[in-house]
Structure 1
């Protein structure tokens, strides 16, 4: 059993290595500039209803402001190899070295039915990005068998540098999932997906504005999770994060930081992170 000091130290490490996921709406750039320290990495989601352009545009603008910005290149939203080559040239031309490649929700898809097929084409293009994230599913995926999600990570491991876990609220489930990956030989670092503070009204409003995207898709298909997130007073995750720190304290487990689903509530998220850091030190 890890003691309180060890758990606190791990909690601090996970929070210091946090990155924030945002949705590319019209007001989010100003909110990030006002409330998010430039040293915090910001990832930008992609929505089938909006297309990739808002994702790429916001990524470029945040990069211009000095942030490390990571676009979500949802594979099913990329039309074909020619468009992928254009995206690569566009991003690398701006000095962007990190991407996140989920499968995405576009239906029907373009030339890429899944993340692996897009990752293979990126390899053929000379692996233009130094850091490539892929999705992991600690909980059962709504439409994919558990064994297939682990197999998918195994297949993609040669093309990626880290795994971003989807939302879960069970620290033991998360620990068992990481152990299962490690036994399979998947050694990539993991970023723990957690929600920041969530207000019910704002969350519902955001879901309506952006459409079903990488964050809201999960909530739409996991109504129990939505209910817990949207409970009065919101969900901040302190207890959950500390439980994760207790379960995943061994550095060999390879959980190196957090991927915070902000739902664009970046002011509240940064306030929460600072307060939790202060109380854990």
Structure 2
């Protein structure tokens, strides 16, 4: 492995044992270690690494004839400084992405002590370095938020934006489905450039582009936090999609109307009980072949 590649892997803490030994044999190993130590104590978030390199190269061009003996080491040091600052700037402005898989939930602590609980098959993105001046997250999927009081807090989804100032609320954004439920405080939901204010117990629901009226929410937290999914007069396809996410299975409907409205619930920790919960109310039968489930209308 060439010298530059070794340095890059070292800066990224990605050297294996063999590469580490090769790195230690570099003639300027001690200088690199000292330079890295000094740079760690220096913060320059607005450092323009490209401009810095151009300045160094211009200086070298004007002194090339009279100072040939130190050109190579100077260029090498300049390259190292540029790489270090570039990596520092890149890592401090990088977004943090949290992803949950099928049948997985997780809790995320944000920089201001706000907490986010991610449901299965969801993605949350935020930026730590910008958080103080911009409390904003991007969400794909479903999450319950407990927001610390402070400046405006925004949740951006493909369907719309949710804005709060310190509250508890749930956001669910799936294919052709967008729902926000306020449990505490005040929530503003912007959809198609129109903002709707939600008070505790209020809901905002869009299915297939249409706004759906819902009754007042009586629970203090979403049911999925307690490993249960509840539905009230929702299309059966929404129930099936959530079941697949919670159990990591594939469901095929045979002779079943996926648009039929369903009211009921299913647990997340017992698939046999859960299957009965979503089939018996509609008089369906089911078969489970290693995670490939078929639901049929009973004869």
TM-score calculated relative to the size of structure 1:
0.27
Higher strand share: 2
Q: Which has the higher contact order (CA 8 A, sep 6+)?
A: 1
TM-score calculated relative to the size of structure 2:
0.26
Higher helix share: 1
